[in-house]
Amino acid sequence: MSLLSGQRAWLLQRVTAIYAGLYVFLAIAVLLARPPADHGAWVALVTHPVVWLATVAFILLMLLHAWIGLRDVIIDYVRPVSVRLTALVAVAVAFLLLGFWALWILIEAALT
Partner 1 sequence: MEFSIYRFNPDTDSAPYMQSFTLPDDQVEPGMMLLDALLLLKEQDDSLGFRRSCQHGVCGSDGMNVNGTNGLACIMPLANLKAPVVLRPFPGMPVIRDLIVDMDNFYRQYREAEPWLINDSPEPEVERLQSPEDRDRLDGLYECILCGCCSASCPSYWWNPDRFLGPAALLQAARFIEDSRDQATEHRLERLDDAYRLYRCHGIMNCTQVCPKGLNPSKAIGDIRRTMIKRSV
Q: Residues in the site for partner 1, rule: CB under 8 A?
A: 1-2, 5-7, 9-11, 72, 75-77, 79
Write down the least CB distance from residue 83 to partner 1, Å: 14
User: Judged by CB, which is closer to partner 1: 7, or 112?
Assistant: 7
User: Judged by CB, which is closer to partner 1: 38, or 76?
Assistant: 76
Chain-centroid distance of CA 20 in Å reads 8
DSSP label at residue 4 = T
User: Judged by CB, which is closer to partner 1: 20, or 71?
Assistant: 71
| DSSP track, 61-82 | HHHHHHHHHHHHHHHHH--SHH
Element (H, E) at 109: helix 81-111
